Amino acid sequence: MPLYAYRCRDCGIDFDARMPIADRDEVSCPTCGHRASRMLAMISAIGSVGEPEPGCGPGMCAARQAAGMPCSMA
């Protein structure tokens, strides 16, 4: 079951709840019982990905590497 983040429309607290997708919009605040709004959540990946160099795309990367130039997409 997915984990969703909510904010109460009345008391303003933030909380998480595991809900079936079909029930994700029908959530009540655990503190006051009023309806809560689902918040946009950010998903984080483990590790880091460097920013590609300006003008560097998949085709350009091979050309840069062939010329002995670094490419952050490789």
Quickly count: other Cβ atoms within 10 Å of residue 21's Cβ.
Answer: 9
Cβ partners under 8 Å of residue 37, min gap 6? 6, 7, 9
Question: Whole-prediction pTM value?
Answer: 0.53
Closest CA to 17 of 53, 44, 52, 41: 41
Note the pLDDT tens digit of each residue in 30-72. Answer: 999 999 999 986 665 555 555 555 555 556 666 667 767 666 5
Residue range 3-32: average pLDDT?
91
Give the number of domains in the chain.
1
Does some domain include residue 53? no
**Range(s) of the domain holding residue 19:** 1-43
Q: 6 lies in a domain? A: yes
pLDDT at 55: 56
More confident residue, 63 or 29: 29
Confidence check: pLDDT of 27 > 80: yes
17 lies in some domain? yes
Q: Which tops the pLDDT comparison, 47 or 21? A: 21
65 assigned to some structural domain: no
